[in-house]
Structure 1
Amino acid sequence: MKLFNRILATLALLALLPAVQAQVPREYLLGPGDIIRITVFQNPDLTTEARVSEANAVTFPLVGSLIVGGLTVPAAEQRIAKALADGGFVRLPQVNVLPVQVRGSQVAVLGQVSKPGRFPLETFNTRLSDMIAMAGGIAGTGADVVIITGIRGGKAFRKEVDIAEMYLHNTTDDDILLAGGDTLYVHRAPVFYIYGEVQRAGVYRLERSMTLIQALATGGGLTPRGTQRGIAVHRRDAAGNIQTLKPGLSDTLQADDVVYVQESLF
């Protein structure tokens, strides 16, 4: 009866394994916060579910503390098997490590991306562009700048990377390597507002170096009652006060500018 129960437990584990491994790549590096289930074939008493500590270690029966953080799943299996064999506890041990919860080597991607969430660092050299691609890319409402925060060398780390500039001017040094625990944030794209005597009043994305005449074109142009002489731009200054400006058509707009086109008096 005991042998039969062991066989059932092994079959259940094998049935579960493909689904979990499909979500966690074999080259994934274990890290602090990960929870793993360790089993040894024909030794059910050694089955252990453990959390990888901040010191990258887990405690396993018979062998005590073992460093598994920074190892792939196969490498962790080999290290545990070697410890069991070297200690003479199990002859030719067959060890299986199954990630139950993956937390330590994840990056959070927030804000204006297609698929915000937490994503594993599948390899040790995952770069910013790789992670943005995993999140489905920057959404149409997202800005070009990605803000990266995390820890480097025990100190708080923050960097802003202009994705468009990185590719337009080949500044590949900005495509930095990511580390477990990093957070990427994409703010909404800057916008401007246009109303009054224009064909399509509303809120629009402010493109780089966008001029007033380009903003008018985005709004569909003036209505027959509109006049270029009656165009005003309302802009908030550093103190939070609203200024009313009379810019030229070739002047550039700023984020959150409000463009108003007056009706012609004649």
Structure 2
Amino acid sequence: MRHNFLTLCSIVLASVFATFAQQTPPAPAVPSQGYLLGPGDVISIRALGEPSFDVENLTIDEDGKIIIPYSEIPLIAKCKTERGLQAEVVQAWSKYLKKPQISLRVTQRNSRPPVSVYGEVRGQAQQFNLTRKVYLLELISYSGGVTDKSGGMIQVFRTRPPMCGESTLTTNWKVENSDEPGLSVPSRIFSYAALSQGQEDANPEILPGDVVVVTKASPVYVIGEVIRPGEFSIPEGGLPLTQALAMASGTNREAKLKAVKIYRRKAGAANPEMIAANMELIRKGTEKDLMLQPFDIVEVGKAPKSFTDIMLDFVTGLPGRVPIPIRPI
């Protein structure tokens, strides 16, 4: 099971890396506030009334620096906000201009790859450009929330090291070993229930390039003498047998409650293990309720008909017989 999950995550990460390598349409952006500049970002600088100082389409180099006119040394732009870098430009040009009035704006944000959200979210797979601090709960909300098939766990992959002194944000993140080369990246798993309850440690800050996967719940199958047979998802915290039968809208009148069968696959076994459960005793509290495991098959058999049922069938008529007419009095 864990191997299958890691394989799925490897496929997801591989598709993300392929996406980053290609030119993609701009992803929807979260409103700008406190964006930190980085290598590859493009800026424009203008000095009011001094066109010779103006600079258009200035790209921050790989060392995080820019070279502006009339400045003897490069300015460090990496990890500064627009306002912070603007103050440095004002200081550099104050040697030549009296009280320079400078405007600086970012025209292209290329230093931060988008955040990708996959899995059981209502908005399907999406990408977001982060221009401010964003936390996991807010990102899930932007994605439309989780679906009913969510397993209640969210895994966040940190695909690149933090750029601006955010190293503490990767503390206690584990590296999952992958069979695919280059896909061993730190990740952490968070509980959606804890996230919804406002627990601070369940709501991490999301960094550019992160891949967020909302996992799908493992299924169980309920068949036989139930009202609504089918596939049902195991919620966070587990699924007891009584709850699974309730999700199937309960049993019908002919159900054999004393011998409900659970078929469970075992690793390396050719045939599934069969577990018997007595629902009558479970409901009375004299027998412990059983916790189902992923891919269990719950079969509710048909009980033999009682004498009362046989007589009732005879009175009301069976298929092939002429039913006794009912007349009003």
Task: Give the whole-Å Cα distance in 2 for the aligned partners of 1:183 and 1:194.
Answer: 34
User: Are 2:192 and 1:159 equivalent residues in the alignment?
Assistant: no
Percent identity reads 20
Aligned counterpart, 2:240:
211
Q: Give per-residue Cα distances to partners, 1:18-76, cap 9 Å, x unaligned.
A: xxxx964142222345x333141553884432444553334545547432232222223
Conserved 8 A contact 2:222-2:230:
yes
User: Are 2:194 and 1:188 equivalent residues in the alignment?
Assistant: no
Q: Structure 1: which amino acid aligns with 2:128?
A: F
CA RMSD in angstroms comes to: 3.4
Q: Structure 1: which amino acid aligns with 2:244?
A: A
1 or 2, which has the higher strand percentage?
A: 1
Return the TM-score normalized by structure 2. Answer: 0.60
Aligned counterpart, 1:138:
146
Task: Tell me the secondary structure at the aligned position of residue 226 of structure 1.
Answer: coil
Task: Tell me the secondary structure at the aligned position of residue 205 of structure 2.
Answer: coil
Task: Give the whole-Å Cα distance in 2 for the aligned partners of 1:54 and 1:240.
Answer: 56
Task: Give the whole-Å Cα distance in 2 for the aligned partners of 1:236 and 1:44.
Answer: 76
Conserved 8 A contact 1:161-1:174:
yes
Change (3 A) 1:224 1:245: same
Matches within 5 A, 1:48-59: 48-59=56-67
Q: Give per-residue Cα distances to partners, 1:195-236, cap 9 Å, x unaligned.
A: 222211122222333211211111112233332245322323
Change (3 A) 1:232 1:95: same
Aligned counterpart, 2:81:
72
Tell me the CA shift for residue 264 of structure 1: 3.3
Conserved 8 A contact 1:32-1:69:
yes
Aligned counterpart, 2:103:
95
Aligned counterpart, 2:311:
none
Q: Give per-residue Cα distances to partners, 1:239-259, cap 9 Å, x unaligned.
A: 475513224341011122222
Which residue of 250, 254, 272 corresponds with 1:221? 250
Tell me the CA shift for residue 147 of structure 1: 1.0
Task: Give the whole-Å Cα distance in 1 for the aligned partners of 2:296 and 2:52.
Answer: 68
Q: Which segment is superposed worse, 77-86 or 204-213?
A: 77-86
Unaligned runs of 5+ in 1: 1-21
Change (3 A) 1:210 1:136: same
Return the TM-score normalized by structure 1. Answer: 0.72
Change (3 A) 1:233 1:103: farther
Q: Which runs of 4+ in 1 moved over 6 A?
A: none
User: Are 2:44 and 1:38 equivalent residues in the alignment?
Assistant: yes
Tell me the CA shift for residue 163 of structure 1: 2.6
Tell me the CA shift for residue 99 of structure 1: 3.6
Task: Give the whole-Å Cα distance in 2 for the aligned partners of 1:225 and 1:210.
Answer: 24
Conserved 8 A contact 1:78-1:95:
no
Aligned counterpart, 2:321:
none
Change (3 A) 1:39 1:182: same
Which residue of 295, 301, 312 corresponds with 1:262? 301
Q: Give per-residue Cα distances to partners, 1:120-142, cap 9 Å, x unaligned.
A: 44545x43333333333323322
Aligned residues: 241
Change (3 A) 1:55 1:132: farther
Unaligned runs of 5+ in 2: 1-28, 176-184, 280-288, 306-329
Conserved 8 A contact 2:30-2:130:
no
Between structure 1 and structure 2, the one with the greater Rg is 2
Task: Give the whole-Å Cα distance in 2 for the aligned partners of 1:133 and 1:82.
Answer: 42
Task: Give the whole-Å Cα distance in 1 for the aligned partners of 2:212 and 2:263.
Answer: 33
Q: Structure 2: which amino acid aligns with 1:188?
A: K
